Structure 1
């Protein structure tokens, strides 16, 4: 939902498609790439590399994305109705 909220009105569909494509590519390419790094540098370095990349991605997302107000925020009191639904 964040992709649709951040994208311009005329490009929301394209943004959602790019998100889906990126997720699929990450799944398909991530395993072979992780295996190659693991074979080359060892499994500990693979986890370290993934952790460093995730930290870098987190910082970039925090830096680039605008601050948006929360929408449709629930409360702890609404949990029973959610479970009943």
Structure 2
């Protein structure tokens, strides 16, 4: 098999999840969307559009997660470049 510069591409298909939110959290998401839309000069932003960016920001700024992730990556064996 030819050696290519690109390795396997990650599966980037969206994954659909169904979750139940407490009513108070939903009200806060609605309010946040209204405020964000007002600040950005748009109309209200639907809560469903807020969830992905909020989770991405949360994970990206969680130092404990980043540290634990680096620690688990350090314990994984290095890939064998000759295979």
Quick check: which has more Rg, 1 or 2?
A: 2
Q: Structure 2 length as normaliser, TM-score? A: 0.31
Q: Structure 1 length as normaliser, TM-score? A: 0.31
